[in-house]
Amino acid sequence: MACRSIDFTAAPWQPGAHPLERKKTAPDAAVTLLEFAPGFADPNPCRRGHAAYVIEGELALVIEDGADVREVRVTAGNAFHLDPGTVHRARNPGDQPVRLFVYSFE
């Protein structure tokens, strides 16, 4: 069994796939610190599994299940879990950045 520290405070912010996204990713680990600026809306659906904790702001998750589409809001201090295969997209509905800690898995 191994344990290693991930120092997100020393890691630089990197651009994300979207212009309003930036991230700090741990090398060789499935954990990421994400920040979505106001107006962020991911146009691409994701099917990976995630467990996440919202540190600041409010995140909107658009969940697609066939013809059924619903939005789930997760505010600072709360967490969410998405099973692998759940089609979803994230967006920032507010006027403040959203920061969240995410663990991704297949």
- Can you give the CATH number for the domain in which 44 is found? 2.60.120.10
- The answer to whether position 31 is within a domain reads yes
- The answer to whether position 14 is within a domain reads no
The torsion angles phi and psi of 11, rounded to 5 degrees, stand at -75, 140
53 lies in which domain range?
A: 23-105
The torsion angles phi and psi of 64, rounded to 5 degrees, stand at -115, 125
What global pTM score does this model have? 0.91
> What count of other Cβ atoms lies within 10 Å of the Cβ of residue 84?
11
Whether 3 and 62 have beta carbons less than 8 Å apart is answered as no
Sheet bearing 58-65, strands edge to edge: 68-75, 58-65, 87-91
Look at the chain and report how many structural domains it folds into. Answer: 1
**What pLDDT sits at residue 1?**
66
In 3D space, the residue among 24, 47, 34 whose CA is nearest the CA of residue 98 turns out to be: 34
pLDDT digits (tens, 9 = 90+) for 6-32: 889 999 999 999 999 999 998 777 899
